[in-house]
Amino acid sequence: MALPPSGTTDEAFLREVDEEYRRDQLIRAGRRYGVWVVAGVVAFLVAVAGWLYYDHSQRTAAEARGEEYDAALQLAAQNQLSQAQPALDKLAQGSDGYAAMARFTEGNLLFQRGDKKGAAAKFASIVTDAKLAQPFRDVALVRQTQAEFDTLKPQDVIQRLGTFANPDSPWFGSAGEMVAAAYLKSGKRAEAAKLYRQLSEAGPRVPDTIRERTAELAKTLSVAPTTTAQTQEKQAK
């Protein structure tokens, strides 16, 4: 029988030895590090399970708070305030959107009852709560100013709401109208007229009632005031 060349045999032998060596190394590595690999996989699975549980619990809690808020609103709409109040108070203690909306509802109810001071305090609690989202805090500042408007100096209103009194602001309607009124109170007729005109031409982003009101005011203010000389002449006649 013919024998294969010795070089070929040596090559095959060396490959076999190399493969056996690699296999042995893998087995040893598996024995050495296998526990840690398994531990890592287990830790990953535990983390995923924990996150899923947390996400589920958060969703469940949010749904429960949403149902509580809806129930409180229905009671308030039915004028059953004594029953709605405890639920609103409970919801207001949190730091999520439902907490903000519960405080808004409480503030609005106080405002409707004529308790402007109490309403302002409730809105202020939203403004100063850094845990709440900024849009909640912004609209709360507008509502707080509405409740306090009669007691504030015109300059305070302008400083407080100036950044909202522009056509790009989502609160332009309410904030702009108050700032324009503050301008008028402080004798800045031209600034008031300009802002009233912007409000009246703002389009659907501003409620119809505000646009109609401000259109009339802009028209009135655009008429130049009677000079002192003209007034004296009319009085002389």
Residue-level pLDDT at 221: 87
Q: Please compute Rg for the chain using Cα positions.
A: 36
Residue-level pLDDT at 236: 47
Structure tokens at 174: 């309410």
Residue-level pLDDT at 192: 94
Q: Rounded to an integer, what distance in angstroms lies between the CA atom of residue 203 and that of residue 200?
A: 8
Residue-level pLDDT at 213: 92
- Amino acid identity of residue 15, one-letter, is R
Q: Which residues of the chain have pLDDT under 70?
A: 1-23, 25-62, 223-237
Is the Cβ–Cβ distance between 115 and 81 less than 8 Å? Answer: no
Determine which helix (DSSP H) or strand (DSSP E) holds 205, and give its type and residue range.
none
Residue-level pLDDT at 44: 46
Determine which helix (DSSP H) or strand (DSSP E) holds 37, and give its type and residue range.
helix 6-77
- Amino acid identity of residue 32, one-letter, is R
Helices marked H in 78-188? 81-92, 97-112, 116-127, 134-148, 154-161, 172-185
Residue-level pLDDT at 161: 95
Residue-level pLDDT at 73: 77
Q: Rounded to an integer, what distance in angstroms lies between the CA atom of residue 226 and that of residue 98?
A: 53
Is the Cβ–Cβ distance between 199 and 210 less than 8 Å? Answer: yes
Structure tokens at 97: 């959107």
Contacts of 122 (CB under 8 A, 6+ apart): 103, 106, 107, 110
